[in-house]
């Protein structure tokens, strides 16, 4: 019996793929036999990631905030590398600011990146997946869409919208063989997390105390969840919000 978790022969487009979660996701896809095309704004970072992963990876410099360029990006990727079987909408931005100090322009920019950019890329990819009758579209969500977290009102609004958008897309696209799901990471090890914890030990204690697993996650944890949801093993899984959070969403 073939390994149902194999991604052999599948091409994935991973936005924001040069560092952090995106890079962890890309590594896992390549490790499962797939190929990846990374996007992001910094060519040097993308190039370095591809050198690490080897010949099954490539990149295209792209800014997801430039919505008018997204149809051309999808066309370029498919022309150069073949049909996109997996889309991972990972690119995003963040804004840590109190609600009363969050101005309209900053709020709109966060929504534009996560919601409009993610939707436009899913739409353009789906246009090509529908005739093929197969595909997997993944969005990276957030605990901020599940629980109230202070000083991230724009980010919380954006990720909540993404979760609803993914469910609507799943309902519409699944009859065409395209599955749409959302990965919801918990608190993940990163340079940013380490710096935040060093500056606010009480925040670190609070997060770990409500995480039953007793540790932070890793980008590999997220990557393996992406592999599962993208693989034939999840062929009957669509419209879900998969928490990969060590139990933080249910911790007391």
pLDDT of residue 190: 82
State the catalytic residue, choosing from 119, 139, 155, 228.
Answer: 155
User: Catalytic site residue 155?
Assistant: yes
Whole-angstrom Cα distance, residue 124 to residue 19? 24
Tell me the whole-structure pTM to 2 decimals.
Answer: 0.95
pLDDT of residue 201: 86
| Alpha helices, DSSP H, located in 86-218 | 104-111, 118-132, 153-173, 191-199, 201-209
Q: Spell out the domains of the chain, with CATH numbers in brackets.
A: 11-191+220-243 (3.40.50.720)
pLDDT of residue 170: 98
Q: Which residues of the chain, if any, have pLDDT below 70? A: 1, 192
pLDDT of residue 31: 97
pLDDT of residue 197: 80
pLDDT of residue 215: 93
**N- to C-terminal Cα separation, the chain:** 42
Condensed to tens digits (0 to 9), the pLDDT of residues 37-48 reads 999 999 999 999
Q: How many angstroms from the chain centroid is the CA of residue 225?
A: 11
Condensed to tens digits (0 to 9), the pLDDT of residues 62-100 reads 999 999 999 999 999 999 999 999 999 999 888 889 999
């Amino acid at each position: 019996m073939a390994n149902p978790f194999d991604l052999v022969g599948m091409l994935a487009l991973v936005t924001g793929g040069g560092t952090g979660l995106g890079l962890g996701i890309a590594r896992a896809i390549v490790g499962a036999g797939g190929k990846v095309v990374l996007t992001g704004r910094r060519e040097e970072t993308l190039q370095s990631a591809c050198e690490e992963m080897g010949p099954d990876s490539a990149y295209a410099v792209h800014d997801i905030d430039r919505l008018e360029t997204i149809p051309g990006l999808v066309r370029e990727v498919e022309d150069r590398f073949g049909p996109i079987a997996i889309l991972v909408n990972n690119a995003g931005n963040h804004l840590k600011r109190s609600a009363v100090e969050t101005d309209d322009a900053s709020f709109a920019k966060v929504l534009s990146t996560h919601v409009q950019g993610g939707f436009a890329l899913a739409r353009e990819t789906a246009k090509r997946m529908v005739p093929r009758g197969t595909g997997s579209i993944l969005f990276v969500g957030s605990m901020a869409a599940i629980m109230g977290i202070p000083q991230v009102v724009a980010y919380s609004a954006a990720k909540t919208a993404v979760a609803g958008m993914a469910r609507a897309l799943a309902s519409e696209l699944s009859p065409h063989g395209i599955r749409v799901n959302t990965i919801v990471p918990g608190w993940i090890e990163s340079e940013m997390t380490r710096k935040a914890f060093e500056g606010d030990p009480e925040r670190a204690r609070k997060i770990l105390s409500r995480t039953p697993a007793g540790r932070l996650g890793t980008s590999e944890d997220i990557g393996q969840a992406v592999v599962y949801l993208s693989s034939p093993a999840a062929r009957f899984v669509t419209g879900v919000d998969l928490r990969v959070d060590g139990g933080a969403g249910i911790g007391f």
